[in-house]
Structure 1
Amino acid sequence: MSGRWARTMLSAYRFAGAAAYPLVGPYVAWRTSRGKEDRNRRRERYGVAGRPRPEGPVIWIHAASVGETLAVVPLVESILDYGVNIVLTTGTVTSAQVVDERLGDRIIHQYVPLDLKPAVSRFLDHWKPDLAIIAESEIWPMTILELGARHVPQVLVNGRLSDRSFTSWKKRANIAEALFENLAHVVAQSDVDGERFRALGARPVTVSGNLKVDTNPPPVDLRALGTLQRQIGDRPTWAAISTHDGEEVVAAEVHATLHRRHHGLLTIVVPRHPDRAEALALQISGMGLKVARRSKGDRIGGDTDVLLGDTIGEMGLYLRLTEIAFVGRSLTSEGGQNPLEPAMLDTAVLAGRNVQNFREAYQRLLDSGGAKLVRDRDMLAGAVNFLLTNEVARHEMMAAGIATVDEMRGALARTLKSLEPYIQPLVVKARLKGANGR
């Protein structure tokens, strides 16, 4: 496919998006009915601004969901120190809550507009960003094209391309190149990600490491932590976190296998999507296990088998209740979830073998002895049993995990260095604006 043909296809995409725009109302309404959109702010998804544009330069930063949002918080805080206005967009209700908790009114939060020309154009017409910074793997063709048409520099930070995404883009290499030529800079997470972006036509590309390593450990409500610790007492615990469909049952089966060997064993299950909690509670209870649900304030009694962590924003609480954590989306689903949070919270990390999306982080943890991969349920049960039984080995894994995270830090400084040529002119512009306004 030629470059001219690729651009023709992207133009067709632009017009198709404009044609589809009137039809998206029912889709947004459906998402709103399921709690996936903020009912009072859903007009923002159509590019309708919820706030006036501030005077002076504006940097638009986009982070899709909770993980990306937490990763960019230190970056946002560093850019705020320059005195430049920031509009931060996210795509989920939970990520908006994280923004409010971590950044408050220091930034302007908006929900990201749908990747359709009318919505994107309306958003850009209002905010007129001087620079766009996009986190991780958010490749929205219409947004990239519209920013490019307005000559707004676009920088992809903490850039990542999964095996599946890279394979998909390679099949459309000319379209990828026509898109990525609009990016002023790609700051990739790893050498592998960097090479993939270069192969798809992105220039220039630098490697920073993973911004998630430079975040603070997830916070905790100390009162809630103390309450749960008193209820648990000295019972042995292990956790299965960020689990996907099928992995909760695996965790319950591991509990059933081990609870006779480890008297009083408590298994903590934290599903990636808490809206599945009702069905999960019924399923696990149907296996003969007693479940306490965090969202309902259930007390952990001596006969409680499973604490179901069906709340949002309390990962820091659940991880502080144990020294062993299996990280999900790695046994029954593919890609894995981020192992760095449990590692930095003094936890021995276990996972299935499907961890391609966090390959470098897992490889570093495996090399240091901070993590172990398991093949199936029986191997997971064996690993949990070993770590519960062998305190020295468990603490060695925990120490190795923390040391590995410390060694991986520095991505924030490297990212800021890459962004400096784009931010410094805006700093000068903001200062001149302030001086002329006095």
Structure 2
Amino acid sequence: MPSRAPKGLVLRAYLAASPLIALAGPVILRRRLARGKEDPARMDEKRGYASAPRPEGRLIWLHAVGLGEVLALRGLISAMAQHDPALQFLITSSARSSAQVIGANLPPRTQHQYLPLDAPTYLARFLDHWRPDLSVWAEQELWPGAVVAAHARGIPLALVNARMTDAGFNRRVRAGGLYGDLLARFARITAQDTRSADHLTALGASGVQVTGSLKSAAPPLAADPATLAQAQAAVQGRKVWVAASTHAGDEAQAVAAQAALWQVDPQWLLILAPRDAGRAGVVASQLTEARLPFARRSLGRVPSAGDAVWLADTYGEMGLWYRLASAALIGGGFDAVGGHNPWEAAHFNAAILHGPDTANFLNDYKALHDEVAAVSVPFGKLAEALQDTDLPDIGLRAGQIVHRAAGALDPLAAELLALVRR
């Protein structure tokens, strides 16, 4: 029961100080708005004011922080909706980029809102309006005020797809019992792997289940049909590959590879999609320096026959880029980032290539490599890897894996729905 939930010294101190967040909130939000990190039309959501009505019926509220984590929730929503077609869903996130992408990929009967800042007055507004019947948190971010407020109202809590590295565990241990107090409020906790489950248990969680990653079971990303037809016409006859969710190290490898390929055969076309579209100016300068002609998506251009690169400096269109490409370099592998989600590309039978660093997706890439469905590319070998005649078969095998994963969420969906308030 909520009254028996533990409140150690650190959690009590946090909750006592949390009203100050509302005092600083307007200043914080204005500064973020000035840096382009907030949506001016929806900034009041960060203070708990809803911008959409609550639908009738039972509502499942799901929260994730990162772009990949938010998109992964779609598979779980689909599985729960199959169990109960009358359910309504609310996804919350914090980052503007995640809202832009999920907006183009929302499942049926699903809305998106920004999670309010963790202040009591903001959270009360949010919960008074939405009145969720279940609260599902994904991966590793827990907002203490929101968790405690939901639990105090008798809203069942679940943590799914949890992933915790050794470094993340050490940071939470130093929080002096805060996470143990929060985890005690969750009725169901699932982890991606045994190591994460062990970390959660050591922090105070009980009954943690290992269910694997949600990402491989998420449905394909969407693409606007008219935009797709226009893009397909523009790249017809080209040898198209995509470098997706890239960082600086990935871009250096991709640009060098495309320069080598294009010099030999101008039919090669690279679609370069930086993880942060705000870095497009820097990337554009690198392309100019490499003497690679390019079309910039944010300016409404499609590539001409003389362009070597399509700079995909927009959000929410990865479903379009993956549909055009026969191979995909998944970013984060040539930087100290730990890699990014390979499963989005796998849906479209794109051959998956990645750099050496996959620390954040070790189990995902192991599953792919076990079935020869991905290629690990050493530094300086990307152009060579892209010319491998086995790539089409590698892409097909990756597609088969995600097809099998689609039904794997059914048991988890059933367990979560058993928690829903009646």
- Is the counterpart of residue 88 in structure 1 residue 91 in structure 2? yes
Tell me the equivalent position of 2:237.
234
Q: CA deviation at 1:99?
A: 4.9
2:384: which partner in 1? 382
Contact 1:214 1:409 in 2 (8 A): yes
Consecutive unaligned residues of structure 2, counting only runs of 5 or more, are: 1-5
* Distance (whole Å) between structure 1 residues aligned to residue 172 and residue 201 of structure 2: 12
Please name the residue that 1:39 is paired with. 40
Total equivalences in the alignment? 416
Match of 1:434 in 2: none
Deviations 1:401-434 (A, max 9, x none): 12332344433212212213202xx3xx3xxxxx
Q: In structure 2, how many angstroms separate the alpha carbons of the residues matched to 1:187 and 1:140? A: 18
1:94 Cα deviation after fit: 4.2
Q: CA deviation at 1:285?
A: 0.8
**Residues 59 and 133 in structure 2, CA contact (< 8 A), matched pair in contact too:** yes
Structure 2 counterparts to residues 158-177 of structure 1, below 5 A = 158-172=161-175, 174-177=177-180
Partners of 2:244 and 2:273 within 8 A in 1: yes
Amino acid at match of 1:186: I
Are the structure 2 counterparts of residues 236 and 59 from structure 1 closer, same or farther at C-alpha, using a change threshold of 3 Å? closer
Alpha-carbon separation, structure 2, partners of 1:182 and 1:379: 49
Q: 1:327 aligns with which of 330, 333, 349?
A: 330
Q: Does 1:366 align with 2:369?
A: yes
Deviations 1:173-202 (A, max 9, x none): 633222211111112233333333223221
Once the two structures are TM-superposed, the CA of residue 45 in structure 1 deviates from its matched residue by 0.7
Alpha-carbon offset, residue 220 of structure 1:
2.3
- The question of whether the paired residues in 2 share the 8 Å contact of 1:163 and 1:357 is answered with no
Matched, 1:356 2:353: no
Distance 1:327 1:277 in 2: 17
1:272-321 deviation per Cα after TM superposition (whole angstroms, max 9, x unaligned): 11122123212321222211112212242222121111122211221222
Mapped to 1, the partners of 2:224 and 2:309 lie a distance apart of: 21
Q: Secondary structure at the match of 1:331?
A: coil
Superposed CA deviations along residues 136-174 of structure 1, whole A, max 9, x for unmatched, are 222212222223333432101222224432332244463
**Residue 266 of structure 1: aligned partner:** 269
Please state how far the C-alpha of 1:111 moved relative to its aligned partner: 1.6
Between 1:24-33 and 1:319-328, the stretch displaced more is 24-33
Partner SS state of residue 290, structure 2: coil
3-state SS in 2 of match to 1:22: helix
Matched with 1:197 is 200
Find out whether 1:156 has 2:159 as its counterpart. yes
Q: CA deviation at 1:242?
A: 0.5
- Choose which of 397, 413, 416 in structure 1 pairs with 2:413: 416
Contact 1:213–1:405, Cα closer than 8 Å, also in 2? yes
Change (3 A) 1:363 1:293: same
Q: For residue 8 of structure 2, what is the aligned residue in structure 1?
A: 7
SS in 2 for 1:335: coil
Quote the offset at 1:339 in angstroms: 0.3
- Between stretches 87-96 and 360-369, larger displacement belongs to 87-96
Structure with a larger share of its residues in helix = 1
Tell me what 1:432 maps to: none
Q: 1:106 to 1:409 in 2, by over 3 A?
A: closer
Partner Cα separation in structure 2 for residue 82 and residue 230 of structure 1 = 38
Q: 1:275 aligns with which of 270, 275, 278?
A: 278
Q: TM-score, normalised by structure 2?
A: 0.89
Q: Distance in 2 between matches of 1:223 and 1:70?
A: 23
Change (3 A) 1:354 1:170: farther
Percent identity of paired positions between Structure 1 and Structure 2 = 35
Query: What is the alpha-carbon distance in structure 2 between the residues aligned to residue 186 and residue 352 of structure 1?
Result: 32
TM-score normalised by structure 1 residue count: 0.86
Equivalent residue runs for 1:283-322 within 5 Å: 283-322=286-325
C-alpha displacement at 1:52, in angstroms? 5.3
Residue 354 of structure 1 deviates from its aligned partner by 1.7
- Match of 2:280, SS state, is helix
* One-letter amino acid of the structure 1 residue matched with residue 68 of structure 2: G
Tell me, in whole angstroms, the C-alpha distance in 1 between the residues paired with 2:256 and 2:267: 16
**Aligned residues of 1:173 and 1:200 also touching (Cα < 8 A):** no
Tell me how far apart the structure 1 counterparts of residues 284 and 101 of structure 2 sit (CA, whole Å): 26
1:120–1:309 distance in 2 versus 1, CA, 3 Å: same
Range that drifts further, 241-250 or 61-70: 61-70
**Residue 381 of structure 2 aligns to a residue in which SS?**
helix
The higher radius of gyration belongs to 1
| Structure 1, gaps ≥5 residues long | 430-438
Q: 1:51 to 1:208 in 2, by over 3 A?
A: same
3-state DSSP of counterpart to 2:346: helix
Distance in 1 of aligned mates of 2:129 and 2:162: 27
